[in-house]
Amino acid sequence: QKEVEQDPGPLSVPEGAIVSLNCTYSNSAFQYFMWYRQYSRKGPELLMYTYSSGNKEDGRFTAQVDKSSKYISLFIRDSQPSDSATYLCAMTLNDMRFGAGTRLTVKP
């Protein structure tokens, strides 16, 4: 079993849809949870960062962490074509472990 599991998709939604992206993990020692966004032929860039269980909101983006279930989510409201990218969850203890990434396409 991988330490971090993420459905690679691809996921295609119409513009304006709510997008839900999820990851599960096996190591309960992970302390920090992040979502990175990666555009084609670019390096990943940090999108959201959380430490504790609960929700964190930033504009159209909401990150959720449920440590008891070892489950994290990223919600995108009012999705836009510019949101089309690969979204990777990441978790840190000392190093950083990534999920496989979910490729999202938002169609106009």
The values of phi and psi at residue 49, to 5°, are -145, 125
Contact call for residue 95 and another protein (CB under 8 A):
yes
Between residues 88 and 106, which has the closer beta carbon with respect to another protein?
A: 88
Least gap, CB of 28 to another protein (angstroms): 16
Residues 48-77 that bind another protein (CB under 8 A): 49, 51
Alpha-carbon 4 to chain mean position: 12
Contact call for residue 97 and another protein (CB under 8 A):
yes
Contact call for residue 99 and another protein (CB under 8 A):
yes
Would you state the structure tokens that stand for residue 106, as one six-digit string? 């938002």
Decide: 37 and 44 in contact? Cβ < 8 Å. Answer: yes
Using the rule CB under 8 A, give the single segment among 14-22, 26-34, 60-68, 74-82 that binds another protein. Answer: 26-34
- How is residue 94 annotated by DSSP? S
- The Cα–Cα gap between 102 and 89 comes to 9
- How is residue 105 annotated by DSSP? E
Among 14, 43, 59, 108, binds another protein (CB under 8 A): 43
